[in-house]
């Protein structure tokens, strides 16, 4: 079997979040788990690794930022067109690890996409955790993803949606996610689980703030989905020291992830 073989998935729906961030709903042609990623290719353009933002029995959501040649080709697609997909690759966020815990998620920008399915899982199964807190930061109100989802989550979950700086007309939270992490009131530190995903500086300084609160690295999980490349450990582009992120990750516990210096 050719490991680079792709399969066509029809685009059923497209949601435009910002000028450069779209979610493509494609037919679900494979079994996937939250935190995994797929390779999406467009003939004559190339291929790109994309994390799976959500899925159900029929559809799979791919939230994509327009940043180059391949994503330009994807953004030229319309409903009814096909994307060539292979995968899924990588490990996943194991929901059962957080059962009975005080779960905190911290995301920065598009780092929300890889954990959207996990948030939705616990949104439907709040009885499986003790409490839930999401701190999600964006540069500005114009950069916010999944606005309709936030409205649903806020109905029965503790949500802190923040933008970096005050702006006219914005009446929500402001400041970096690290500022809001520092304000957390955690009476039972030993029962806390954390998932954080975002740009490297955001994860580094969030980790520092969590440590100040007494949370151990063993209680934190992160995703290095940004490091994905070929997905099968052949190109070496995702390798950090002796670790192939595509084979061992992209989800790591922080006691290992903090030692993977990129």
In degrees rounded to 5, what are phi and psi of residue 145? -100, 155
Please indicate if the annotation marks 160 as binding a ligand: no
Helices (H), 67-111: 69-75
Q: What share of the chain is helix, strand, coil (3-state, %, to 5)?
A: 30, 35, 40
Q: How many secondary structure helices (H) and strands (E) does the chain include? A: 7, 15
What are 162's two structure tokens?
A: 């923040």
Please indicate if the annotation marks 246 as binding a ligand: yes
Cα separation, 254 vs 256, whole angstroms: 5
Cα separation, 89 vs 246, whole angstroms: 7
Of 261, 228, 262, nearest to 247 by C-alpha is 228
Cα separation, 200 vs 10, whole angstroms: 33
Cα separation, 126 vs 226, whole angstroms: 29
Please indicate if the annotation marks 238 as binding a ligand: yes
- Sole residue written with tokens 């790109």: 48
- Please report, in range form, the residues annotated as the binding site: 230, 235, 238, 246
- Please report, in range form, the residues annotated as the binding site for [2Fe-2S] cluster: 230, 235, 238, 246
């Amino acid at each position: 079997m050719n490991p680079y073989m792709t399969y066509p998935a029809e685009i059923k729906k497209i949601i435009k979040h910002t000028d450069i961030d779209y979610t493509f709903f494609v037919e679900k042609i494979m079994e996937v788990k939250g935190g995994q990623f797929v390779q999406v290719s467009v003939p004559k353009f190339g291929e790109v690794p994309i994390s799976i933002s959500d899925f159900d029995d029929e559809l799979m959501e791919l939230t994509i930022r327009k940043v180059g040649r391949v994503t330009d080709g994807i953004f030229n697609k319309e409903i009814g067109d096909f994307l060539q997909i292979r995968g899924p690759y990588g490990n996943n966020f194991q929901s059962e690890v957080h059962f009975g815990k005080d779960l905190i998620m911290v995301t920065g920008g598009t780092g929300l996409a890889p954990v959207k399915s996990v948030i939705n899982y616990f949104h439907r199964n709040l009885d499986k955790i003790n409490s839930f807190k999401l701190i999600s930061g964006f540069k500005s109100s114009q950069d916010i993803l999944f606005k309709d989802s936030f409205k649903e989550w806020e109905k029965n979950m503790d949500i802190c949606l923040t933008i970096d700086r005050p702006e006219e007309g914005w009446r929500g939270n402001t400041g970096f996610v690290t500022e809001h992490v520092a304000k957390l009131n955690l009476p039972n530190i030993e029962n806390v689980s954390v998932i954080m995903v975002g740009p490297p500086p955001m994860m580094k300084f969030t980790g520092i703030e969590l440590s100040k609160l007494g949370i151990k690295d063993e209680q934190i999980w992160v995703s290095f989905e940004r490091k994905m490349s070929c997905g099968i450990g052949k190109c070496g582009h995702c390798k950090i020291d002796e670790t192939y992120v595509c084979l061992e990750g992209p989800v790591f516990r922080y006691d290992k992830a903090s030692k993977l210096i990129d």
